[in-house]
Amino acid sequence: MARRDYDPATAPPDDRPAAKAKAFDTTGPRAWRGSLAGEAIGSANTILAYATDTVGEGPRLHVHPYDESFVVIMGHARFFVGDEVIEAAAGDVLLAPAGQPHRFENAGPGRLQTIDIHHSPRWIQTDLD
């Protein structure tokens, strides 16, 4: 079914050109990790790729002044957002609202791979532990 959510005449294209940059190296044997600041390509969002093969491993508890969305690409994760604990698996998308302390870990078995979307043109973070 074709989508027709808006009239393109009401939102003309802006003057930015299409852009491309590398966020992580896919040629090595390690899990994919890396980041790309949105400002590097004229975007309002910063993208991180995170992966680990170690169960229990993940980013430390931290907070951002903007929302962060997570897309679980592979494996199982346990997210801690504020007072909530959320189990997630490949295909799930989660939100850590601005100002909410959060972290996640590989719940296993196997590799955890996520794409983390920082709703900011640059990565701004305060680690809490």
Question: Which residues contact residue 118 at a Cβ distance below 8 angstroms, ignoring those fewer than 6 apart?
Answer: 38, 45, 46, 47, 48, 64, 66, 68, 124
Q: Is the whole-model pTM more than 0.85?
A: yes
Residue stretches of the chain with pLDDT short of 50: none
pLDDT at 29: 66
pLDDT at 9: 86
Domains and CATH numbers, the chain: 30-127 (2.60.120.10)
pLDDT at 96: 98
pLDDT at 128: 97
